[in-house]
């Protein structure tokens, strides 16, 4: 075994360096995904038509309201800088299982009801970590 380790010492060093580089490159990903963006606007669409626009930065405690989808009503919950579908009669319940969204670029979609919720905005200079 000692002979094997001696002959492949360079391979082990290269492998260690590669593993360190991979681990180091993942750090920015975890830092960015853990950041909450302030000043978000939620745009709620039904079949491409804007139904409602909400300034999530002005929301406080969680509140629930109802919107009319194509096939059924949907309960939407909002709180400070976050929004989710609380209840929908859609078969898969994918929109409900998505939970709260608090970052732009990750829409909530209920294909059954033709509803999509898109988050926009966010001040890149006011970022809260945590």
> Where do the DSSP E strands lie in the chain?
35-37, 40-46, 49-55, 63-68, 73-79, 82-87, 108-110, 115-121, 127-129
Which residue(s) pair with 42 in the sheet?
54, 119
Reported as a single tens digit per residue, the pLDDT across 14-40 is 888 998 888 888 777 666 555 556 788
Tens of pLDDT, residues 34-77 = 555 678 899 999 999 999 999 998 988 999 999 999 999 999 99
Distant-in-sequence, close-in-space partners of 117: CB < 8 Å, separation ≥ 6: 42, 43, 44, 45, 76, 83, 85, 101, 107, 108, 109
pLDDT at 120 over 80: yes
CATH of 37-123, picked from 3.40.50.300, 2.40.50.140, 3.40.50.360, 2.60.320.10, is 2.60.320.10
Domain ranges of the chain: 2-33, 37-123
């Amino acid at each position: 075994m000692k002979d094997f380790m001696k002959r492949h010492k360079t391979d082990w060093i290269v492998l260690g360096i590669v593993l360190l580089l991979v681990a180091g490159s993942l750090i920015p990903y975890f830092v960015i995904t853990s950041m909450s963006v302030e000043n978000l606007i939620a745009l709620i669409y039904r079949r491409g038509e804007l139904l409602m626009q909400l300034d999530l930065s002005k929301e406080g405690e969680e509140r629930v309201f109802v919107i009319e989808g194509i096939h059924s009503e949907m309960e939407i919950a909002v709180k400070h800088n976050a929004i989710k579908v609380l209840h929908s009669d859609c078969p898969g319940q994918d929109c409900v299982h998505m939970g709260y969204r608090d970052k732009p670029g990750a829409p909530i979609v209920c294909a059954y009801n033709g509803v999509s919720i898109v988050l926009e905005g966010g001040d890149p200079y006011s970022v809260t970590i945590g």
